[in-house]
Amino acid sequence: MGTIEFDKCDFCQEEKPVWRTYLRAGIIKENFTFVKYCNDCGEPKNLNVDNVTRFEVIDHTFKNKGRVLVEYDVRVEISIQDEGRTMKVFLTEKQ
Ligand SMILES: [Zn+2]
């Protein structure tokens, strides 16, 4: 826990008292090295993808396409960009 400040929460985008925390293992630090979160949104949970070897994307929207991507034997890297509005997943060769 760091100091509390008044700023825009990276998750709800509201101006309110926020805490800062550093992104943790499994998330690539790109463009910013920390996230700001308010008490309503809560501290982001650790997302450890170090042991992941299978990646699936499943569409549960109204289009309901089901599994749209299944990849085995891959390494997964997650990048949060665009002030928390974009999530990119990079699949690379398993090491
Ligand atoms: Zn918030």
Give residue 25's pLDDT: 47
Instruction: Give residue 16 CA to ligand 1 midpoint distance, Å.
Output: 8
Instruction: Give residue 6 CA to ligand 1 midpoint distance, Å.
Output: 12
Instruction: Give residue 83 CA to ligand 1 midpoint distance, Å.
Output: 13
pTM: 0.56
* Per-residue b or e along 50-85, where b marks 16 or more CB atoms closer than 10 Å to that residue's CB: eeeeebeeeeeeeeeeeeeeeeeebbbeebbeeebe
Taking the CA of residue 53 as centre, how many other CA atoms within 13 Å lie in the half-sphere pointing to its CB? 4
Give residue 23's pLDDT: 64
Instruction: Give residue 18 CA to ligand 1 midpoint distance, Å.
Output: 8
Task: Provide the token pair at 70.
Answer: 């299944």
pLDDT tens for the chain, 95 residues long, are 567 889 998 888 899 999 887 665 455 555 445 778 899 988 876 667 888 899 999 999 999 999 999 999 999 887 777 777 888 888 999 87
